[in-house]
Chains A and B, each alone.
Chain A
Amino acid sequence: MNAPDLEYAALLPMIIVLGAAVVGVLVEAFVPRGPRHLVQVLLALVALAAAFVQVVRLGGTEIVGAVGSVAIDGPALFMQGTVLVLAFVSVMFFAERRIEGGADAFAPAASSLPGSEDERVLVRERVLQTEVYPLAMFSVGGMMLFPAANDLLMMFVALEILSLPLYLLCGMARRRRLLSQEAALKYFLLGAFASAFFLFGAAFVYGFSGSVRFSDIDAALGARIGQEGLLLAGVGLMAVGLLFKIGAVPFHAWTPDVYQGAPTQVTAFMAACTKLAAFGAMLRLFYVALGGVRTDWQPMLWAVAIVTMVVGIIVALTQTDVKRMLAYSSIAHAGFILTALVAVDQVAVSAILFYLATYGFTTLGAFAVVTLVRDAGGEATHLSKWAGLGKRSPLLAATFGLFLLALAGIPLTSGFVGKLAVFSAAFQGGAMPLVIVGVVTSAVAAFFYVRVIVLMFFSEPAAEGPSVAVPSMWTTFGIGVGVAATVLLGVMPGPLLDLAEQASVFIR
């Protein structure tokens, strides 16, 4: 049997990132502890930048490669480029060492028992955990492959590549380690469940169509061969797996716990990039492979979209922890994006691509701000501690206020343009009731975003309030990128919208 021909140029971005991850493992083994941190950070950043350059050079490519299992087309490249930029910023947040006084946000050794003598020794010796970088790179590789996967098996493989390192990363917080480990375990158990659902569904669909290739599934749908029951069961089960990853209700239960427990930098990375990759995969699966039975799955996604928006927003209202509030807000945003997804339209693809990019930058920035508000126990995430922050640190409070306004979708921020794009796509797709639910829940959502602004600007500072850490260049630059993207994409969204529009055609 001959070795398959691979389109190396088209696959190069993923090869660079995954290769860098492998090199990162070797760096762990061979580079002495002193320079290791810097080497890992630079390796990751250079690889991400190089991969991004290659993605840009591939612009306009439309090929199905790797023996039909990977599609490199507009949506895939757009997603990959966005993931790379967001991951670049995330890695910069990982590298932050000033706010912990020379240490970073990760436990020196994830295997040491919390509170043990081992841990104290490691902390005293200022040992730095550098395995997070190769882990993050593996995850990024998976996120790039996920929206490009063109058959069910490749999609499953990508799902696992992106998920497994994330489970580990979630358990690595330096502070509040038990909470962090609990989050990792929950995420792992539920994530494994979801993966199993996906795989089970894939098997059913294979049973229906006799192929895992998306184009073959589509053809089988057209020919109406095979057993309808197998197909519907398969679609439902695969939807469970993917809806879990995007955090849609009723598969959202992990989101608040994991977002809260994970190191905030990892939460930022996860919130921005995982959602993006998972929506990418979902778009391809439902549009390319299952577009022929859209009338079967549209009602299901209608229901999920409505429940996701309503539950996400209502539960967010009651949150008292900043990270949990942002987690529920991310659930609600998944609902907003789903309204466009059910439209099955090229306009919807470009709207979702745009929304995911804007949401990613805003979320990254918002979580990065959370890392800076600290008291003796680490990050002060309880909302009561944020009272009067506007008086103590006006710039930081204004930055966070901007991100909140963008999440609320106030005009002249990127969030508004995103919302306009997805809602008009949904409207054009005939999903007017979803748009109505969307705007009403947006109005409710504005309440809890604005509540935080009220707290920061109009309340008197708490007597023993948190201090605002002065970050190094890494975090400062990252937050700056978030602010710039949020404002620029709100005022001048034209170029990115055009790009998303050009990139909105799936190759079949």
Chain B
Amino acid sequence: MTIPWLTLLIAAPALGAVLTALVPAGRGTLAKQVAIAFSLLSLAIAIAVIAQFELGADRYQLVEQQAWIDALGIYWALGIDGIGAALIALTAVATPIVAMAMWPEAEAEKRDPKAFFALLLAVEALIFTAFLAKDVLLFYIVFEAMLIPLYFMIGMYGGPQRRYAALKFLLYNLFGGLVMLAAVIGLYVQSVDAGNASFLLTDLVALDIPVETQRWLFLGFMLAFAIKAPLWPFHTWLPDAAAEATPSNAAFLSGVADKVGTFGMIALAVPLFPAAAAEFAPVIVVLAVISIVYGALLAIGQTDMKRLIGYTSISHFGFIVLGIFALTERGATGSTLYMINHGLSTIALFVIVGFMISRRRSRLVADYGGMQKTTPKLAGVFLFAGLSGLALPPLSTFLSEFLVIAGTFEQYRAAAVIATVGIVLAALYILWLYQRTMTGPERADIGATRDLGRREIAVVTPLIALILAIGFFPRTVVDVIDDGVGPTLAEVDVEAPPPLVSVTDHAAEGNDE
């Protein structure tokens, strides 16, 4: 019998969640240790899984398929492709880091930390399942189920407005999810009508759905994903959630969990409804460009650091969506790489801001100033994370942003040009944030602030190392992602307006002149 690696990968954090929850009350430290141990175990399994992934072999590897609900054609179907592998890696790396960063947060709110860590692992298990699911209903189930633990994490451990933020988060996402449910059912009915009732992705992709139907179903899926990976105008829950959740929870939410939305776009919405995706792509590209500029502009205006980073994420998600719906291979590869890099740099920004907040008990930019002198290490890592956020070469984010814009340029020149404004604005919001908090005259009461402790250094070191490593040696990651992106887009190309031709035409015209 072969080892069901992917099920193991999901089972490890799930088991960890249960065991963490079973730790007796009052033994907070033990609960945290159990949780971190299991997040490291998941990381080890994830490494083992990715090590087995072969480039250029089958599209989905390590496939497992088991009938789950026979009557409705629902399967426990898992498989990993290049896109999934990259995102699994991100999740597996991020979870122990976030867990380490979360260490003192529950106590700071005078709450038992046990549930916080158990919920974190539960979400990790659900995210793994979402990235691996090869059954649309299985994906939908974890997509929705994930909301409940995240809701409790925001609502039980966050700031003063946490209940409001948690409810807003839940209702926005639940609404999107339920609309998606109607579309999932509609898709299923298509497969019933075709004589083979099944939720399997491979079966559904093979269906020949009329364009008229595709449009509705595509919109149903996209609404859910556009809320999850917030795209303007569905974004308003994110700044609230980012501001009210604890810093590391906000890091996990926008750095990892929201990637399920963009993953859904590239791995489900586009291949399932290629004709509709091609049709709606211009509209979505416009929304993405608005997100990029709008998120960046609002980030500049924020006075609350967590809210500021929340808005930068909206801008970055705009880039990711832009790359996906350029429907070019370069754009899609860039987007997937962007998901990884945005994850790393956002987590770094949020946890470092969390370190600052834990020192001065304030989220407001105005309460900081001149910290560079007393806390040089903190200032240094903050600057590094910020530069990574604004995509400074050769940090990892640079390449992804470049690929997205280049990929978009092949199809939508204007959009690509406007998107570059986002890069300029990113420099503005990051550097201005740094300037106001870290440089300038030292505030009178800032003298006694501690610099980074050992735990904090342990949290940021792997993030910095990874950002540098992917920046200098992007080849391996890009190859893996390309392996998944190629076949995904191949399904669209059949019906999409031929993109490369027009570009070559233009190029040819250019040569003639």
What residues make up the interface of A, taking CB atoms closer than 8 Å to B? 350, 405, 410-412, 416-417, 419-421, 423-424, 427-428, 432, 435-436, 438-440, 442-443, 446-447, 450-451, 454, 457-458, 493-494, 497-498, 500-501
Interface centre among B163, B167, B171, B185 (most CB of A within 10 A): B185
Q: Taking chain B's interface residues, is the majority helix, strand, or loop, or is none over half, making it mixed? A: helix
A209 to B133: give the CA distance in the assembly, Å: 55
Neighbouring B residues of A405 by C-beta, 8 Å: 148
Which positions 151-204 of chain B face chain A at CB distance < 8 Å? 151-152, 155-156, 162-163, 166-167, 170-171, 174-175, 178-179, 181-182, 185-186, 188-189, 192
B437-459 to A contact mask, C-beta < 8 Å, 1/0: 00000000000000000000000
Neighbouring A residues of B186 by C-beta, 8 Å: 427, 432, 435
| Distance from B77 Cβ to chain A, minimum over Cβ atoms (Å) | 15
Q: B142 at interface (Cβ–Cβ under 8 A)? A: yes
A498 to B72: give the CA distance in the assembly, Å: 9
Neighbouring A residues of B174 by C-beta, 8 Å: 443, 446
Residue of A nearest to B147 (CB): A410
Known interface pairs A458-B162, A494-B70, A497-B69. Does A424 touch B141 (Cβ–Cβ under 8 Å)?
Answer: no
Q: Is B178's CB under 8 angstroms from A440's CB?
A: yes
Q: Is B178's CB under 8 angstroms from A443's CB?
A: yes
A249 to B71: give the CA distance in the assembly, Å: 32
Residue of A nearest to B172 (CB): A443
Give which listed residue, A421, A423, A447, A458, contacts B166 with CB less than 8 A. Answer: A458
Q: B47 at interface (Cβ–Cβ under 8 A)? A: no
| Distance from A409 Cβ to chain B, minimum over Cβ atoms (Å) | 8
Q: Is A454's CB under 8 angstroms from B155's CB?
A: yes
Give which listed residue, A436, A447, A457, A501, contacts B155 with CB less than 8 A. Answer: A457
Neighbouring B residues of A447 by C-beta, 8 Å: 171
A427 to B197: give the CA distance in the assembly, Å: 14
Q: Is A458's CB under 8 angstroms from B163's CB?
A: yes
Known interface pairs A428-B192, A454-B163, A458-B163. Does A439 touch B72 (Cβ–Cβ under 8 Å)?
Answer: no
Q: B428 at interface (Cβ–Cβ under 8 A)? A: no
Give which listed residue, B71, B145, B167, B175, contacts A498 with CB less than 8 A. Answer: B71
Q: Is A494's CB under 8 angstroms from B141's CB?
A: no
Neighbouring B residues of A424 by C-beta, 8 Å: 72, 185, 188-189
| Distance from B465 Cβ to chain A, minimum over Cβ atoms (Å) | 37
Q: Is A501's CB under 8 angstroms from B71's CB?
A: yes
A427 to B186: give the CA distance in the assembly, Å: 7
Q: Is B69's CB under 8 angstroms from A457's CB?
A: no
Give which listed residue, A417, A435, A443, A501, contacts B171 with CB less than 8 A. Answer: A443
| Distance from A141 Cβ to chain B, minimum over Cβ atoms (Å) | 31
Neighbouring A residues of B162 by C-beta, 8 Å: 458
Residue of B nearest to A501 (CB): B71
Q: Is B182's CB under 8 angstroms from A411's CB?
A: no
Q: Give me 21 A-to-B residue pairs in the complex whose CB atoms sit less than 8 angstroms apart, sorted by A's number.
A: A350-B71, A410-B145, A410-B147, A420-B185, A424-B189, A432-B186, A435-B186, A439-B179, A443-B171, A443-B174, A450-B170, A450-B171, A454-B155, A454-B167, A457-B155, A458-B156, A494-B69, A497-B69, A497-B70, A497-B71, A501-B71
Known interface pairs A432-B186, A439-B178, A439-B182. Does A421 touch B70 (Cβ–Cβ under 8 Å)?
Answer: no
| Distance from B331 Cβ to chain A, minimum over Cβ atoms (Å) | 32
A129 to B72: give the CA distance in the assembly, Å: 47
Give which listed residue, B156, B179, B182, contacts A423 with CB less than 8 A. Answer: B182
Which positions 97-149 of chain B face chain A at CB distance < 8 Å? 137, 140-142, 144-145, 147-148
Q: Interface size (B, Cβ < 8 Å)?
A: 34
Residue of B nearest to A496 (CB): B71
A187 to B144: give the CA distance in the assembly, Å: 39
Known interface pairs A457-B156, A458-B162, A497-B71. Does A436 touch B144 (Cβ–Cβ under 8 Å)?
Answer: no
Give which listed residue, B141, B156, B163, B167, contacts A411 with CB less than 8 A. Answer: B141
Give which listed residue, A410, A435, A494, A500, contacts B68 with CB less than 8 A. Answer: A494
| Distance from A423 Cβ to chain B, minimum over Cβ atoms (Å) | 5
5 closest A-B pairs (Cβ-Cβ)? A497-B71, A411-B141, A439-B178, A443-B175, A443-B178
Known interface pairs A439-B182, A443-B174. Does A497 touch B145 (Cβ–Cβ under 8 Å)?
Answer: no
Neighbouring A residues of B70 by C-beta, 8 Å: 494, 497-498
| Distance from A499 Cβ to chain B, minimum over Cβ atoms (Å) | 9
Neighbouring B residues of A410 by C-beta, 8 Å: 144-145, 147-148
Neighbouring A residues of B181 by C-beta, 8 Å: 419-420, 423, 439
A410 to B152: give the CA distance in the assembly, Å: 15
A458 to B167: give the CA distance in the assembly, Å: 11
Residue of A nearest to B143 (CB): A411
Q: Is A446's CB under 8 angstroms from B171's CB?
A: yes
A494 to B66: give the CA distance in the assembly, Å: 13
Apart from A427-B188, A457-B152, list 4 A-B contacts with CB within 8 A.
A420-B181, A424-B188, A427-B185, A454-B155
Known interface pairs A410-B144, A411-B142, A428-B189. Does A417 touch B182 (Cβ–Cβ under 8 Å)?
Answer: no
Neighbouring A residues of B182 by C-beta, 8 Å: 423, 427, 435-436, 438-439
Residue of B nearest to A419 (CB): B181
A427 to B71: give the CA distance in the assembly, Å: 16
Neighbouring A residues of B179 by C-beta, 8 Å: 439-440, 443
Q: Is A435's CB under 8 angstroms from B185's CB?
A: yes
Neighbouring B residues of A494 by C-beta, 8 Å: 68-71
Give which listed residue, B145, B170, B185, B188, contacts A412 with CB less than 8 A. Answer: B145
Q: Is B141's CB under 8 angstroms from A416's CB?
A: yes
Neighbouring B residues of A419 by C-beta, 8 Å: 181
